Amino acid sequence: MNTQAPRGKQPDEIRRDFPIFSAHPDLVYLDSAATTQKPRRVLDAIRDYYEQRNANVHRAAHTLATEATVAFESARARVRDFIGAASVGEVIWTRGTTEAINLVAASLREMELTRRDIVITELEHHSNIVPWQQLAAKIGGKLKVARITSGGEIDLEDLAAKLGDKTLIVAFNHVSNALGTLNPVAEICALARTRGALVLVDGAQATGHIEIDVKELGCDFYAFSGHKMFGPTGIGVLYGREDVLETLPVWQTGGEMIERVSFDGTTFNRLPYRFEAGTPNIAGAIGLAAAVEYIQSLDRAAASEHEHRLLALARSGLQQIDGVRVMAPDAPRSGVLSFVDEDVHHQDLGTLLNEQSIALRTGHHCAMPLMERLGVAGVTRVSVAPYNSEEDIARLLDALAKARALLA
C-alpha cells in the first residue's frame, strides 16, 4: 500500500477537527458525497450566531439586528469570493442545489420564450432531471438527453448534435454523484454559448473538492449545497450571472423580495433579494461561510491529491477482486468511485459493511435513468473527503472481503 504522506494538514489532524469522529472512533465514513461531516468551526459559528447575535436580518434598527445582518451579508461576500462571482448580487441563498435548480426552472416558466428545448445528460441526479422535465412539458419544449460514452463520460459529440437554435438551456453536473466523473465544464459552456443557449452547472459534488471560478467556467448558473462541503443542511447557493438574473422573473413572493407593496401592485427588490422571499436561513448562511473558511484553511491541492490517492487505492484493490466491476474506471474523477459486485446484491453488501462500521451508500443514488443506461440495479459508492485515510480504504477492502466470504 502507498504510504506516502499527503502535504498540508495530515488526515489525522483534519479528522480531529470533526467532533463526530471522537463520538464514533471506529467509524469509516465513506459517504461524504451524500453529506460531509461538519468541522468544529462550522458548529461553533452556528452556535455563536444563536448565542451572541440572534436577530432577524435587514429590517430592525437595533444593534443585534445590525450584527446579524453584517454576519449574514459577510457570509454572502465570502461565498462570492469563493466561487469568483462578480458581485454579491449574483449569490442567491437557497435551501440547496435542488432548490437552486427549481428556482431557475420556475422562473424560466414565467418568461415569454422563443427557445423551448432543454438539453441535459444521462449522468444527471434526479434534481437536475425532474425540474427540466416538468418545465419542458409546461412550455411545450423537448427534453433532449445527451448520451454518455462506455467510459462514463459525457459524449460531447452527441451533446453538440443535440444543441440547436431552439435550445433554451443546457444543464449538467460538474461531477457525477453516481460515477464520480469530472466533466469538462468550460468546454461544454463554450459549446452551448456558440448556440446561444443558457448553461446551468450542478456543482453539488464539486465545490467541496475543486476550486471554482464561475467566470472562468463561463456558465450562466452554478448551483451547490452547503452540506456537501462541510456546511449545514438547508442552505445552498444559486450563482447567476447578473445580466441573466436581471432578465428572470421572480419566483417565490412575499417579504424581503419587495421594494414597495400596495394593494394595486408590487415592485421588486434589487438582486439578490428579489429571489429571496421570507426570512432566510441566517444560521445556515453563517455556517456555510465558516465551511468555506475551513476549506480555505486547508492546502486544497494537497487535499485533492490525497483524495485522488485514496480513490486510486480503492480502485486497484477493487479491481483485484473477481466479480467486482469498477464503474468508469478511467474517467477523470473527483471524490467518488463506484462499483458493482456481480455476486452480492448491493443492499446486502451495504448492510454487511455497516456491521463492520463502514458507512457508504448503495443503490441508484438518485440517478435511476443512469442506472438503467448502465444496465445495473444499483452501485456501491465510495466517496471520500480530506478526513479519510489510507487506513479507511484498507478497512473497506478488508470488510468487503469478509462480507463476500460470508455470502459466497
Q: Which is nearer to ligand PLP, 207 or 269 (CB)?
A: 207
Among 31, 90, 122, 202, binds ligand PLP (CB under 6 A): 202
Residue among 130, 191, 366, 394 flagged as catalytic: 366
Q: Pick from 121, 181, 205, 380: which binds ligand PLP (CB under 6 A)?
A: 205
By CB under 6 A, tell whether 98 contacts ligand PLP: yes
Residue 387 to residue 392: CA distance in whole angstroms? 10
Four-point Cα dihedral 4, 388, 14, 54, nearest 10: 160
Return the residue of 32, 36, 97, 389 that touches ligand PLP, per CB under 6 A.
Answer: 97
Among 127, 181, 304, 389, binds ligand PLP (CB under 6 A): 127
Decide if residue 125 touches ligand PLP (CB under 6 A). Answer: yes
**Cell 462500521 found at:** 357
**Residue closest to ligand PLP when measured from CB atoms:** 177
Instruction: Concatenate the DSSP letters of all residues of 275-290 into one string.
Output: G--SS--HHHHHHHHH
Q: How far is the CB of 331 from ligand PLP (least distance, A)?
A: 15
Within 206-225, which residues bind ligand PLP (CB under 6 A)?
A: 225
The neighbouring-strand residues paired with 117 are: 167
Among 3-11, 24-32, 93-101, 346-354, which window interacts with ligand PLP (CB under 6 A)? 93-101
Q: Establish if 281 lies at the interface with ligand PLP (CB under 6 A).
A: no
Sheet holding 143-146, edge to edge: 91-94, 236-240, 221-225, 198-202, 167-173, 117-121, 143-146
**Which segment (156-164, 201-209, 281-289, 323-331) binds ligand PLP by CB under 6 A?**
201-209
For the question of residue 366 being annotated catalytic, the response is yes
Binding part of the chain for ligand PLP, among 23-31, 52-60, 122-130, 297-305 by CB under 6 A, reads 122-130
Question: Minimum Å distance from CB 335 to ligand PLP?
Answer: 10
Q: How many other β-carbons are positioned within 10 Å of the β-carbon of residue 245?
A: 21
| Amino acid letter for position 47 | R
Query: Could you tell me how many residues of this chain bind ligand PLP (CB under 6 A)?
Result: 12
Cβ-based neighbours of 350, under 8 Å, separated by 6 or more: 360, 361, 362, 363, 380
List of E strands, 48-174? 91-94, 117-121, 143-146, 167-173
**177 in contact with ligand PLP (CB under 6 A):** yes
Q: What is the rounded distance in angstroms from the CA atom of residue 201 to the CA atom of residue 185?
A: 8
Contact between residue 113 and residue 139 where contact means Cβ atoms under 8 Å apart: yes
Q: Is 167 or 205 the residue whose CB approaches ligand PLP more closely?
A: 205
- Catalytic residue numbers? 366
Give the footprint of ligand PLP on this chain (CB under 6 A): 96-98, 125, 127-128, 173, 177, 202, 204-205, 225
